[in-house]
Amino acid sequence: MTDSKILNIPQQGDLGVDLLQSRVPDGPLADKWTNHKNNIRLVNPANKRLIDVIVVGTGLAGSSAAASLAEMGYNVHAFCFQDSPRRAHSIAAQGGINAAKNYQNDGDSVYRLFYDTVKGGDYRSREANVHRLAEVSRSIIDQCVAQGVPFAREYGGLLDNRSFGGVQVSRTFYAKGQTGQQLLLGAYSALSRQISKGKVKMYNRHEMMEIVVVDGKARGIIAKNLVTGEVERHSAHAVVLASGGYGNVFFLSTNAMGSNVSAAWKAHKKGAYMANPCFTQIHPTCIPVSGHYQSKLTLMSESLRNDGRIWVPAKSEDAEAVRKGTLKPVDIAEEDRDYYLERRYPAFGNLVPRDVASRAAKERCDEGYGVNETGEAVYLDYASAFERYGKTEANVLGLENPSDEKIRELGKAVVKAKYGNLFDMYRQITDDNPYETPMKIYPAVHYTMGGLWVDYNLMTTVPGLYAAGEANFSDHGANRLGASALMQGLADGYFVLPYTIGDYLADDIRTGPIPNDSPEFMKAEAEVKDVLERLINNKGSLPVDDFHRRLGRIMWENCGMARNGQDLSKAIEEISALRKEFYENVRVPGTLDGYNPELDKAARVADLLELGELMCKDALVREESCGGHFREEHQTEEGEALRRDEEFTFVSAWEYKGEPKDAVLHREELEYENIELKQRSYK
Amino acid sequence: MDLTLKVWRQDGPTEKGRLDTHQLSGVTGDMSFLEMMDVLNDNIIREGGDPVVFDHDCREGICGMCSMFINGQAHGPGRGVTTCQLHMRSFKDGDTITIEPWRATAFPVVKDLTVDRGAFDRVIQAGGYVSVNTSGETLDANTIPIAKADADEAFNAATCIGCGACVATCKNASAMLFVSAKVSQFALLPQGQPERKRRVTRMVDQMDKEGFGNCTNTGACSVECPKGIDLTNIARMNRDYLNASIKGE
């Protein structure tokens, strides 16, 4: 009997089925977006001045959307919780941004980028959306260069590209290891220009607390001024959520400390469906957890796997000794090492996709072969790369019979030139010298493919409420390819949403300003104040982080790299109990007035405590393995992920019904007309 | 390790501040400075007190939010790191650590260790952009080749994270390093040329309006800058500003 039957989970909701209309335009795939743009309604410039739009979040999607909408003539009200829009977490993206420019003349095309993205997502994304993403990718690079974004260039003065994430072309544009920073500062510049013109009113250090729905349409938000503590009512004709992902539900992740799900979750509770919430990307090469008080995890670029070899001791007594500090990794003989990726996946070796590499590391550590104090780390070893590069270099220099030491020295210099900044970062954090001893790495939560369900126009199931960037579920299916997050954020914000939103706002040219003192606004404001008062007046004894950390542990153990029905069912109960305990025993210091980050954190963790439960339920219902979602019950004899296309080629869209675990499932069936579904293999 | 912390506490911009002393034990070298602050706050909350308010977000040295003046140095000891990248192994058992906010007229204290850096945003709004609409209908990205050396130098200037360590470090609380980094990024690229004079004039005027001090070529800003933004950017900005003042926008 399957777990879904035990829990009596309905496979299709009986209400609101009509809301799930993808509104994908008719016609051939390659013409859909052009035709759609030609046919949707426009709002004339004079009328745009009569329309207000709220944008929540100022990362790549939010900043670019706010700037573009303001340029077009709308009155934009933009909100961010940081002290400046420039600090949104898009800034931390390292690697690059994909675009189908084919500057390298390696056969790249819009179709190939589309195909790679759908395949990389393990066939769980919507064809038409992904094709549009690939189409507009080219404009993004043009636009950013025109804004003065300093991408890396070749000596000839033209743009440089790098390869990424196992695709067969070189289409990633980059600015050293700071591509996200440079793109965000470009969007921030465009936003700043509009702020100076008065077309964007910017609200820094403001948190969205609630969506206000009037007559079935999103008409504004309740926001909290984080500095004064004041709860404010903001009205508009439409609301755009570009509030990012929810990886922080795991407590430890590569997300920023402030990243949260609250804006999206409030929307969910007001009628927006949450799509594929269990699809989480766990990145294999992060610096491991060092202790209980660890607050976040740091990513080491995926590029390190090109030259490094991943291993653990083959004997458990060696692993034990390494953990105790009585044995050094460099003293373990070659035959006593288990290069487990090379052993299991001879064809791809250390270069298997992110999800496969992550699961394999977990499997070894679960078996007791982990190599740090917590038992959750594996080695990433550059010794053989030093030797390989050193020998080549010695040949180039014409050295006869160089000593082993000389070869290693030459090799280290080559590695330093390629990866020096990453090695420095590793040393800074761990105090270990990676040129002398293997690095320790472990997988960490990095990105969430799931998010608010949106149609082709990026509108949620609440009319007038849009979601862009990581906050929506749109383009990455069950697994995101490297360098595609930046592409999607800017595509949504610069080139998709500003057009599609006009189709909705065309009805609002005679509406006039939306009053912010209607009963709906007053009620929403009162509810927000109630929630905050309940938190601050709670007479508990434990800090918010205590609950957040425990939630993270439940999620990581049961809804992380490998999941099974039994654990997920148990996790749902545990999260439910933890949420109850949170409201009984949390202590929030300070007062409602003034700047109180602990109160703001408590409100965010309260929402994560609900989201986690829905994620586990979604993972429980999806009885197949696909992309980042691995169900132990559904694997091949060799232990590889097993997709079940017959039963599960659909998007899970959840409708809120009180408790998160009571959510009702709606299915958007995915139809593949242009791509044949195939099982991935890396043997 | 056991530490004595002297932490600046201030309820608001116009309130009087004070240094509070806390004893903290059980700190390990692998903790980042901010994780040490987390432990302090965790203890304070469990004892029923009010935790120390400080700005932080990405905790990997790129968002520019963290901003502590530690033992008289912006982002503490060590070069090329933000407060979040500083680890406790830089300190030893029994140390006394003094933690203060950025201090500058243009950066009023919001609460405790948090300051208002809105002045930086307003300087950028005054002209720190290229006036191009986001239609995507611009030139193909490879139409104008840019010499690699210029592109690299523009990139180096553009890596400024806007944390304000330069202002906090400068004896005059000057923002010249921050402003000149943005001016330089665009001055070095062809896309920045049409507005070059107008940009530098407006950004410098706004900088002065915000109450930042002047540059006296001490160079401490560049030494303490977590991203190593070069002092030559200030020279470039001065040259451009002079040029614009003489020849007009």
DSSP secondary structure letters along B83-116: GGG-BGGGS-TT-EEEEE----TTS-EEETTEE-
Distance to chain A for B211, nearest Cα, Å: 19
The answer to whether position B112 is within a domain reads no
The answer to whether position B159 is within a domain reads yes
Q: Both B238 and B208 in a single domain? A: yes
The reported pLDDT for the residue numbered A640 is: 84
Q: Which residue has the higher pLDDT, A164 or A385?
A: A385
Residue given tokens 């004339």 in the structure block = A44
Residue to mutate among B42, B87, B134, with most A CBs inside 10 A, is B134
* DSSP class of A496: I
- Is the CB of B193 inside 8 Å of chain A's CB atoms? no
- In this predicted structure, the answer to whether residue B76 has a pLDDT above a threshold of 90 is yes
Last residue of a domain, one of B43, B66, B100: B100
Q: Is the separation of the CB atoms in A485 and A470 below 8 Å? A: yes
Residue A57's Cβ-count burial label (10 Å; 0-12, 13-18, 19+) is buried
Arithmetic mean of pLDDT over chain A: 94
B85, B133, B186 member nearest A428 (Cβ): B85
Assign residue B13 the CATH number of its domain. Answer: 3.10.20.30
- Is the CB of A538 inside 8 Å of chain B's CB atoms? no
Report the alpha-carbon distance of residue B78 to residue B99 in Å, rounded.
Answer: 15
The reported pLDDT for the residue numbered B26 is: 95
Q: Both B92 and B198 in a single domain? A: no
Report the alpha-carbon distance of residue A412 to residue A418 in Å, rounded.
Answer: 10
Distance to chain A for B48, nearest Cα, Å: 7
Where does the pLDDT of residue A165 fall: very low under 50, low under 70, confident under 90, or very high at 90 and above?
A: low
The answer to whether position B108 is within a domain reads no
- In this predicted structure, the answer to whether residue A9 has a pLDDT above a threshold of 70 is no
B42 interaction partners in chain A (CB closer than 8 Å)? 543, 545
The reported pLDDT for the residue numbered A15 is: 45
Residue to mutate among A60, A296, A301, A492, with most B CBs inside 10 A, is A296
Q: Both B190 and B127 in a single domain? A: yes
Sheet of A439-448, strand order: A280-286, A439-448, A378-381, A309-313, A337-338
Q: Both B136 and B47 in a single domain? A: no
Q: Where are the alpha helices (DSSP H) in A248-373?
A: 262-269, 316-324, 340-344, 354-366
The reported pLDDT for the residue numbered A425 is: 86
Report the alpha-carbon distance of residue A673 to residue A226 in Å, rounded.
Answer: 49
B187-235 residue pLDDT tens: 999 999 999 999 999 999 999 999 999 999 999 999 999 999 999 999 9
- In this predicted structure, the answer to whether residue A3 has a pLDDT above a threshold of 60 is no
Intervals of CATH 1.20.58.100 along chain A: 520-633
Any idea which fold A284-445 has?
Flavocytochrome C3; Chain A, domain 1 (3.90.700)
B38 interaction partners in chain A (CB closer than 8 Å)? 293, 295, 545
Cβ partners under 8 Å of residue A22, min gap 6: A126, A128, A455, A456, A668
The reported pLDDT for the residue numbered B61 is: 94
Phi then psi for B81, rounded to 5 degrees?
-130, 150
How many domains in chain B? Answer: 2
- In this predicted structure, the answer to whether residue A17 has a pLDDT above a threshold of 80 is no
Range of the domain at B90: 3-100
The reported pLDDT for the residue numbered A321 is: 96
Distance to chain A for B217, nearest Cα, Å: 28
Residue given tokens 């980094």 in the structure block = B181
- Is the CB of A612 inside 8 Å of chain B's CB atoms? no
Q: What is the ipTM of this complex?
A: 0.98
Assign residue B123 the CATH number of its domain. Answer: 1.10.1060.10
> What is the per-residue burial (b if ≥16 Cβ within 10 Å, else e) of A287-297?
bbbbeebbbbb
Q: Is the separation of the CB atoms in A648 and A670 below 8 Å? A: no
Angle at A598 between CA A597 and CA A600, to 5 degrees: 65
Report the alpha-carbon distance of residue A167 to residue A171 in Å, rounded.
Answer: 9
The answer to whether position B126 is within a domain reads yes
Whether A146 and B130 lie within 8 Å, measured CB to CB: yes
The reported pLDDT for the residue numbered A6 is: 38
Q: Both B34 and B123 in a single domain? A: no
Residue B118's Cβ-count burial label (10 Å; 0-12, 13-18, 19+) is middle
- Is the CB of B147 inside 8 Å of chain A's CB atoms? yes
Where does the pLDDT of residue B240 fall: very low under 50, low under 70, confident under 90, or very high at 90 and above?
A: very high
The reported pLDDT for the residue numbered A16 is: 43
The whole-number average pLDDT for the span A309-320 is 96
A139, A145, A597 member nearest B53 (Cβ): A597
The answer to whether position B106 is within a domain reads no
Interface A–B counts its CB contacts (< 8 A) at 213
Q: Is the separation of the CB atoms in A231 and A528 below 8 Å? A: yes
Residue to mutate among A193, A289, A294, with most B CBs inside 10 A, is A193
The reported pLDDT for the residue numbered A118 is: 94
Q: Both B223 and B140 in a single domain? A: yes
The reported pLDDT for the residue numbered B156 is: 96
**Encoded tokens for B35:** 């994780």
The reported pLDDT for the residue numbered A664 is: 96
Report the alpha-carbon distance of residue A386 to residue A408 in Å, rounded.
Answer: 5
The helix or strand, by DSSP H or E, that contains position A233, with its residue range, turns out to be strand A231-235
The whole-number average pLDDT for the span A235-239 is 98
Residue given tokens 């964007």 in the structure block = A200
- Is the CB of A82 inside 8 Å of chain B's CB atoms? yes
Where does the pLDDT of residue A13 fall: very low under 50, low under 70, confident under 90, or very high at 90 and above?
A: very low
Identity of the amino acid at A324: K
Report the alpha-carbon distance of residue B142 to residue B146 in Å, rounded.
Answer: 9
**Lowest pLDDT segment from A5-14, A253-262, A423-432, A534-543:** A5-14
B81 interaction partners in chain A (CB closer than 8 Å)? 428
The reported pLDDT for the residue numbered A166 is: 59
Report the alpha-carbon distance of residue A470 to residue B112 in Å, rounded.
Answer: 33
Whether B130 and A148 lie within 8 Å, measured CB to CB: yes
Bridge partners, A77 (sequence order): A54, A201
The reported pLDDT for the residue numbered A352 is: 81
Q: Both B122 and B75 in a single domain? A: no
The whole-number average pLDDT for the span A428-455 is 96
B29, B35, B53 member nearest A294 (Cβ): B35
Nearest CA among B96, B84, B58 for reference residue B165: B84
Q: Both B122 and B51 in a single domain? A: no
A615-628 residue pLDDT tens: 999 999 999 999 99
The reported pLDDT for the residue numbered B78 is: 87
Cα–Cα distances (Å) from A400 to A389, A393, A409, A413, A414, in that order, read 16, 12, 15, 19, 19
Beta strands in A523-614 (DSSP E): none
B136 interaction partners in chain A (CB closer than 8 Å)? 136, 139-140, 142-143, 494-495
Q: Both B183 and B76 in a single domain? A: no
Distance to chain A for B134, nearest Cα, Å: 6
B58 interaction partners in chain A (CB closer than 8 Å)? 87, 89, 91-92, 256-257
**Lowest pLDDT segment from A297-301, A320-324, B7-11, B124-128:** A297-301
A580-598 residue pLDDT tens: 999 999 999 999 999 999 9
Intervals of CATH 3.90.700.10 along chain A: 284-445
The reported pLDDT for the residue numbered A18 is: 65
The proportion of chain A whose per-residue pLDDT surpasses 90, expressed as a percent, equals 86
Cβ partners under 8 Å of residue A242, min gap 6: A55, A56, A57, A58, A59, A61, A62, A65, A467, A468, A469, A471, A489, A492, A493
The reported pLDDT for the residue numbered A306 is: 75
Q: What is the CATH number of domain A520-633?
A: 1.20.58.100
**Encoded tokens for A33:** 């977006």
- In this predicted structure, the answer to whether residue B136 has a pLDDT above a threshold of 90 is no
- In this predicted structure, the answer to whether residue A184 has a pLDDT above a threshold of 80 is yes
Nearest CA among A500, A22, A7, A530 for reference residue A273: A22
Count the alpha carbons within 13 Å of A429 in the hemisphere toward its beta carbon: 26
Where does the pLDDT of residue A642 fall: very low under 50, low under 70, confident under 90, or very high at 90 and above?
A: very high
Report the alpha-carbon distance of residue A499 to residue B31 in Å, rounded.
Answer: 47
Distance to chain A for B142, nearest Cα, Å: 6
The whole-number average pLDDT for the span A85-98 is 94
Q: Is the separation of the CB atoms in A95 and A164 below 8 Å? A: yes
Cα–Cα distances (Å) from A174 to A52, A97, A149, A161, B27, in that order, read 35, 6, 10, 7, 38
Phi then psi for B72, rounded to 5 degrees?
80, 10
A507-526 residue pLDDT tens: 999 999 999 999 999 999 99
Identity of the amino acid at B89: R
* B215 Ramachandran zone, left/alpha/beta (phi>0; psi -120 to 50): beta
Q: Both B87 and B175 in a single domain? A: no
B158-186 residue pLDDT tens: 999 999 999 999 999 999 999 999 999 99
A280-311 residue pLDDT tens: 999 999 999 988 889 999 998 877 887 899 99
Where does the pLDDT of residue A456 fall: very low under 50, low under 70, confident under 90, or very high at 90 and above?
A: very high
B162 interaction partners in chain A (CB closer than 8 Å)? 84, 86-87
